[in-house]
Structure 1
């Protein structure tokens, strides 16, 4: 599954930033719950599938997305990490260390420019023409954290960031593991669905006519995504990808099918998912408390 670029913590010392990035990812999601067997799924009705405005917006609107952290909770988590890190540093003797020095994720990436999510090429024409399959550049942080005054301060900040990120991890990790597992099961079922397979074949034929004989939409990202600036060939491929995706309504079909399978999986796991949603609400309240401390 392709997703938009993750948040990039930029703490005071570089080592703290690297640790923060890894642990912040762990704070938001768990590993797969291998013991959760997939129930028998049936092809869901499509109705009149409509592609969402962007890939990221489509992902946020999926049924299982209601059981994950949203942007508001992510913002609360970062605020709590900043507060806890600053308090930890003050206790360690660094009185001039501020919350802004603790963690900074950079500017937000617009939904339309985020790398596509899902087994298809899905970028708006105006984005594809200038970005290709390279991720967008986030806006600059509102404030650049000051460099550490010494190696000792940098080491202390690194340890405080670790402690803060551990403190804001969800208590119900099995719930996040379940959601991740169900999401994977819904993706697997979607990839096998005859309607998605047919729409993908139509996409492949369209791309071949445009001069890009890719076996699958994911092949485009594997081929072009990487360091540096997009080439003219990549921009042409992304533009053709956008056009072919729209021509066969691949995105609309893919999201409609995926949502249908997710609803079936949610129905089969209602009790456990309800408990997890309750734990998320409790964590939101705790993050709010920590951020205000």
Structure 2
């Protein structure tokens, strides 16, 4: 979900928050506007609340991962602070707005409304996942030609920008070429999204590597405010939106030592054919995933 969504059916997991009105729900986050706002379109602030829900392969899963919402929010806040040269959607601590209830303070961000671009800005520093699958068939990823002879998990000669067209909730995003982004948002915005995405990834990857962590790939979302300023929004460089690996293990050839929800993806791949409702995650998978999320926070010092 992005900070611009204003529709959606309220599930039982969207809590009543004093001073705020729920307006939208994504797979992981719930969006609120001040109760005093006449409509979402007139709100001057939004509250983005991260839940403990977990999703994979575009499906919401059960049960939730304990503490996940707070950990994701800590990661986003950490990276927003590290990337101070990139405009973001956070409203500063001095913003005099609707009080945030203590019950959700640790897993929420008060943000400015943005008009979101329909582009998922994916940056890949390593060949893995759907990129690896496409490379095996075509020798390229989203139209970007790559050297021959690469293996799964290899570092790319340089990070590549491989955007996607954001799909409605429940549908798969569509990988597209850079040229298609130009058609969707115009040449100036397309170039800005590409350049900002590559800058954020390269800056964050360098910081993470100093802490013994590889950021294999990630995805960003951007929007513009009322003044036309492009800002990075939603989550940034979380365990949900990025692949994090143990740098030492990766160097030694182990490309499975991840700090994200790869544990969940792997289990689902082994126990589900992708049809119908996903199976319930076993307690052991939930506990291992939560532990890896916590370890990443400790590694990064977030």
TM-score w.r.t. length of structure 1 = 0.27
Q: Which has the higher contact order (CA 8 A, sep 6+)?
A: 1
Structure whose CA Rg is larger: 1
Which structure shows the higher strand fraction?
Answer: 2
Which structure shows the higher helix fraction?
Answer: 1
TM-score w.r.t. length of structure 2 = 0.27
